[in-house]
Amino acid sequence: MVNTFLKYGYTQEQIDRKVASAWEAVFESNERFYAENDDGTAFVTDTGNNDVRTEGMSYAMMFAVQMDKKEIFDKLWKWALKHMYMKESVMKGYFAWSCQLDGTKNAYGPAPDGEEFFAMDLILADRKWGSSDEEGAPENYGWWARKILHTVLHHHYKMWNRWNYLIRFVPACPFTDPSYHLPHFYEHFADYADKRDAKFWVKAAAASRNYLVTAAHPVTGMTAEYAYNDGSPNPYGPPKGHGDFFSDAYRTGANIGLDALWNGKTPELSDVADKLVTFFQDTEITAYRKYNVDGTPTVIPALHPTGLLATLAQTTLACSDKTSAACEKIVRRFWETPPRTGNRRYYDNCLYLFAVLALSGKYAEE
């Protein structure tokens, strides 16, 4: 795995401390948002909304499997199965996207980014630690990965559009979220899914890579939070600001960076990454705003500035050599920025830990 931090002259000892600090911000520090229960389960809190989300739970499981923390992984997964997995209702077989801290469901609908991360987490856990032989047991990671992958394609309310191979914003929804597109995951889904679905996932990976190019603004490389199937921004209602480059959309560049790390760079996606990094290369974190996708700043400050900087740093993994100077500016700015503290730290520090793992060569696909 490429160690970008090492390339920029940081020592392995410094890098190891950086990784430890980012892990501590999520799991161990006084400002951690990971908590364990007496029943052998654990959860992470969205500190800005005071709930537990499949987004955060699946992110934390990814952190745990990358850092070889099986006990933490199992506790998080058992909480998700106990409180989020829906065994009844029209969305049976999916995970409730939001729960209260005691596990009470806030909603009976799923968010597809949670399901796709859960599936990849479980695939990696199966490869790293092996699975139990008991069907349906929490530690039968491979069984659960295959079950999730079957459900998202064959449920009455499907998470993927079967005719264009694009992930939906929510099941049966007519539009998508560019930051949900994870082609680097779909390559692995093809290996784990039912044989009859393997070709779908291969096509989904190609479709998502094409979609990310289409959805990115031709000058800035920015994508909207929500977008139509043709890639154009969708300012989905109130306050009709989801057609802008804001919180959800930050992840798109990071996902392109991880795809490059796992599967190699593609000229079209490198071009998107180059434009995004170039746009922000001279912008300090304190000046980050909400932007129209054409780069026009709004009066609204970035809600997650540390998260934006982290995703830009991860985006550099996909950049071409022609933007090497801009990439170095971004990565060094990120290195010098500590994890976020305060009420909104959950989302920022999840994105922060992802970036640290990717740039230190510790975000692996095996």
pLDDT for the residue numbered 66: 98
CATH topology agreement for domains 1-32+172-366 and 35-159: yes
Fold adopted by 1-32+172-366 = Glycosyltransferase (1.50.10)
Q: Residue 145: which pLDDT band, with cuts at 50, 70 and 90?
A: very high
Fold adopted by 35-159 = Glycosyltransferase (1.50.10)
Q: Which of 46, 126, 177, 248 is catalytic?
A: 248
pLDDT for the residue numbered 133: 96
Sketch the domain layout of the chain as residue ranges: 1-32+172-366, 35-159
116 carries an active-site annotation: no
pLDDT for the residue numbered 237: 76
Q: What is the mean pLDDT of residues 303-327?
A: 98
Q: Residue 1: which pLDDT band, with cuts at 50, 70 and 90?
A: confident
Q: What is the mean pLDDT of residues 307-325?
A: 98
Q: Is the pLDDT of residue 238 over 80?
A: no
Q: Is the pLDDT of residue 240 over 80?
A: no
Q: What is the pTM of this model?
A: 0.98
Kindly report, residue by residue over 182-225, the tens digit of the pLDDT: 999 999 999 999 999 999 999 999 999 999 999 999 999 999 99
CA dist., res. 74 & res. 130, Å (int): 13
Mean pLDDT of the chain: 97
Q: Residue 272: which pLDDT band, with cuts at 50, 70 and 90?
A: very high
Kindly report, residue by residue over 84-99, the tens digit of the pLDDT: 999 999 999 999 999 9
Q: Is the pLDDT of residue 31 over 90?
A: yes
Q: Is the pLDDT of residue 2 over 80?
A: yes
Q: Which of 46, 55, 197, 259 is catalytic?
A: 55
pLDDT for the residue numbered 322: 98
248 carries an active-site annotation: yes
pLDDT for the residue numbered 163: 95
